[in-house]
Amino acid sequence: MGHHSCCNQQKVKRGLWSPEEDEKLIRYITTHGYGCWSEVPEKAGLQRCGKSCRLRWINYLRPDIRRGRFTAEEEKLIISLHAIVGNRWAHIASHLPGRTDNEIKNYWNSWIKKKIRKPPAASTTTSSSAKTSPNNPPSAACSTATSDHVVHGAHGHHQLHHHQTSFGVTAAGADHLQLDAIINQNLGLASLPPKLACGGDSPPLSTGLPHQCPLFMFDTGAAVSPPSSLIMTSTTQMHHHHPLIASFTAAMADVDAPSYLPPLVDGMLGSLRCAMDCVGEDDDVTTDHCQAAVPAGAMAFYGDHDHHQKQQQHLQQQLEQQLGQHDEQWDDDEAQHLLMWDQEVLTSSNLEAMQSGAHSLLFMGPNDHD
């Protein structure tokens, strides 16, 4: 194992930090700040590299660090955010004040490890045999899969696979979407068709998890064929009590701070502004109508949108053609809640343009801001 390029010097200490070292670092940072980490070790009298000092400060010594177990709300937020941004721990951590990316990453990895270790047969049994140590996330401890399906994104199609492989096999070469699928399975979601996985007719879960699934995400394309991902947000089961709402309402209120938003929607700020304007202008649309929010920072707006019915029907056909490579019937009630990408009127041609030009498509609930 080599050393950092910044710490090739002799006498650079490695390994666990001693209380004395911590004290030196804290004293230095609190009096001088940390403008240049490479200078910190020398000025603080530490035989560490700057990188190590930075890590120690950020992950452990920061005064605003929040330690202790993750709350249920934090867990839900992590799950939802991970479904959107994947292993972008720093992004996820930015939504959890006082938590570090390292902490979240460790938490997630240990959780996933537990899931992978579970034999497939266990997924059809009750959770009574699951370890219920306080270390286990509730959602993991109560993960009684109700499905034998795993959703994979592959080569332009989303597919349902009967669960014939162990989690270990599935996860071994998996990207985060596959892991999501595993998780979703364990949340009892994957038994539904992907496009309806969050649908209003999904039965309440008996897992103790909120029965309103905030979102469902699946990969529809190979890397060379955008969109690389689609996020389907349910409407009927989302409501404003979801913990994500508060988080992203705050984000919406500060759309000039794009760094707050995950990159997935960095390019969507125009749409979001438009959506916010819509809320402001339409008296019939209250915050209670902003029933859905996904971690990507999008919102679904509810309201009277009869005049969009034809557009939606047309969109439905398009989606059925382009997305519906499987047998399930499109649910009209669900279709009611599918729209819409920008302030543009949706046509088959601009839908195609959207799909060819966008890295990701985010379908939100119907709005009527045109």
Partner DNA sequence: AACATTCTCAACCGCGGTGAT
Partner DNA sequence: TATCACCGCGGTTGAGAATGT
How far, in Å, CA of 230 to CA of 341, rounded? 12
Binding mask 77-116 for DNA (x = CB under 7 A): ----------xxxxx---------xxx-xxx-xx--xx--
List own/partner pairs for 346-353 with CB under 8 A and 24 or more apart: 346/311, 346/314, 346/315, 347/314, 348/314, 348/318, 351/315, 351/318, 351/322
**Among residues 3, 32, 211, 241, the one that binds DNA under rule CB under 7 A:** 3
Per rule CB under 7 A, is residue 135 in the interface with DNA? yes
Per rule CB under 7 A, is residue 50 in the interface with DNA? yes
CB of 55 to DNA, least distance (A): 5
Per rule CB under 7 A, is residue 1 in the interface with DNA? yes
How far, in Å, CA of 223 to CA of 110, rounded? 29
**Among residues 10, 31, 133, 349, the one that binds DNA under rule CB under 7 A:** 133
Selected range binding DNA among 48-56, 149-157, 266-274, 283-291, rule: CB under 7 A: 48-56
**Among residues 117, 211, 241, 326, the one that binds DNA under rule CB under 7 A:** 117
Per rule CB under 7 A, is residue 129 in the interface with DNA? no
Closest CA to 236 of 279, 197, 281: 197
DSSP secondary structure letters along 88-129:
-HHHHHHTSTT--HHHHHHHHHHHHHHHHHS-GGGGGS-GGG
Residues in 155-174 that interact with DNA by CB under 7 A: none
How far, in Å, CA of 315 to CA of 311, rounded? 6
Neighbours of 140 (CB within 10 A): 22
**Among residues 38, 71, 126, 356, the one that binds DNA under rule CB under 7 A:** 38
Interface residues with DNA (CB under 7 A) are 1-7, 13-17, 36-38, 48, 50-52, 54-56, 59-60, 87-91, 101-103, 105-107, 109-110, 113-114, 117, 131, 133, 135-136
